[in-house]
Amino acid sequence: MEGRGTRGLLTPGPVERQLFLELPNDLRCIEDTVEFVVSRCSICEVVDRKLRLNFQVSLIEALSNAMIYGNCSDPLKKVRVEVFLHEGLVTAQVTDEGSGFDPGCIPDPTTGRSVRKVSGRGLFLMKTLMDEVHYNDRGNSVKLVLHLSSPEGIRREASA
């Protein structure tokens, strides 16, 4: 499910691990942050390699979008990351200090004139690689949801 709101969300089990980070608005922090999140939350222990890669790519995209577009590359702004590992579920919420956007206004990068555009692929990747992608009403926070076991009808496969 994508878009705003929470209709259709599965109720997660108890939180097994959680992590809260506040990052400087610096793209150079992204790689180390993603490695830290995966290591600290022991995601390697509970997620197979393909799903872990999906999570890492999606988190990289969310952090990049927050820093570049949300915070307009302003070095004085911050990006917050909240990661929760529940039984059977990993969620990551990335929030910037920007004014937000309407994700419904971003065209599909695989059709029409959008095919030639350089931008717009990060949102597409997140929606493709994650089971659920949700935005807050303001449009400055994205929640990525990855199911560790496949509920009926939910599973995405990354192209090899």
Confidence (pTM) = 0.82
**Using one digit for the tens of pLDDT, what is the confidence trace for 74-92?**
999 999 999 999 888 899 9
Go through 143-160 and write b for each residue having 16 or more CB atoms within 10 A of its CB, e for each that does not.
bbbbbbeeeeeeeeeeee
- 15-147 maps to which CATH number? 3.30.565.10
**Using one digit for the tens of pLDDT, what is the confidence trace for 98-153?**
999 999 888 787 777 766 777 778 899 999 999 999 999 999 999 999 998 755 44
